[in-house]
Structure 1
């Protein structure tokens, strides 16, 4: 059973000083850390959707990635997700939607998600810490058409909330499933945490 991941990393990161995919967290880029988590969970193939200007640089750094580009990142994450979906093999049973913004989600979280998805890939899986759901999110194949049809301004979240009957949660001890890097302070906090882990 192949469990693909699509890593959304097309944002320009204006508020944090550059494209998030290449921002450094403890000596590794945010994209590299995200990819390590995907590998820990056994997610393969991994597709990353990045700005066109970064394709060659990322290809040199991450030869094992399938790369797509979104020339209009202002169109939002769902547009990038659809670009990534076009690059998936035809026979996959779903996809893990991964935001590079959440680069410090632990490897253990990815591993637990992978185990749960393998048991039942037809559910909509999300990690849970306390009483809150976070990232990344597994969408079963049955929701692919809904992802393709959802309004861009509502994003994949609209598909999640329209399919509550498919929800399943994986309990994890990982507050980073909620913590994205979106501001300079977020970046400083993430860099501090990354340094603590290494």
Structure 2
């Protein structure tokens, strides 16, 4: 393993692709932006940051013919927290989560989240005064607290970050464009072209 790959080995990237995408008419991970799917864009970005990339989904058919490990969401947990629960299966001390529906994430996401992590359980991206917990660097050991968190009945990914402690890093809004509707998809298409 060369030096550049060795520095990438301690972090896994988990692409969160379990959302139903109702406002987009369903099938969000496989919707195309440019010549590739939203999932392809996220995987490519994840592979820039780590040699260990996996996808979290409600079912394997959500992600089509994905060549990466697909971690199936734990039943009874909705939203991005279900994907985060799957991250406990990854054998790396740190896990970076990214959503499949943000195709323009900044190149320095991993570096800046790593720089502020300190002793916190997670470091989270923010923009325009809003925190994006789906774009977060999580200590795997902190994720082991999820069963106790679930036992309280809570299901918020931000609430879990508050329990384990987190730092934030801010960017400009244009990096965290979320594709949720046909209009968002059309705007992302124009931006890719």
- TM-score w.r.t. the length of structure 2 is 0.75
Partner of 2:98: 98
Q: 1:45 aligns with which of 52, 65, 70?
A: 52
Cα distance between partner residues in 2 of 1:118 and 1:136? 12
Task: State the 1:55 CA deviation.
Answer: 6.7
Gaps of 5+ in 2: 1-8
Change (3 A) 1:56 1:196: closer
Cα displacement (A) at 1:180: 2.8
Q: What per-residue deviation string (whole Å, max 9, x for no partner) do you get for residues 11-32 of structure 1? A: 3323312221101122221111
Q: Distance in 1 between matches of 2:146 and 2:15?
A: 15
Task: Write 1 or 2 for the structure with the bigger share of strand.
Answer: 2
Please give the alpha-carbon distance, in whole angstroms, between the structure 1 residues aligned to 2:162 and 2:76. Answer: 24
Counting matched residue pairs gives: 180
Which residue in 1 is equivalent to 2:137? 138
Deviation at 1:119, TM superposition (A): 4.3
CA distance in 2, matches of 1:79, 1:23: 22
Confirm or deny: 8 A CA contact 2:55 2:69 kept in the other structure: yes
Structure 1 unaligned segments of length 5 or more: list them. none
Structure 1 position 193 matched with structure 2 position 176: no
d(CA) in 1 for partners of 2:19, 2:78: 10
In the aligned structure 2, how far is the partner of 1:99 from the partner of 1:145?
21
Cα deviation 1:63-93 (Å, max 9, x = unaligned) = 2x2212248587433233323432x12xx12
Root mean square deviation of aligned Cα: 2.8
- 1:149 corresponding residue in structure 2: 148
Q: Does 1:36 align with 2:34?
A: no
* Aligned equivalents of 1:115, 1:52: Cα separation in 2: 31
Q: Secondary structure at the match of 1:18?
A: coil
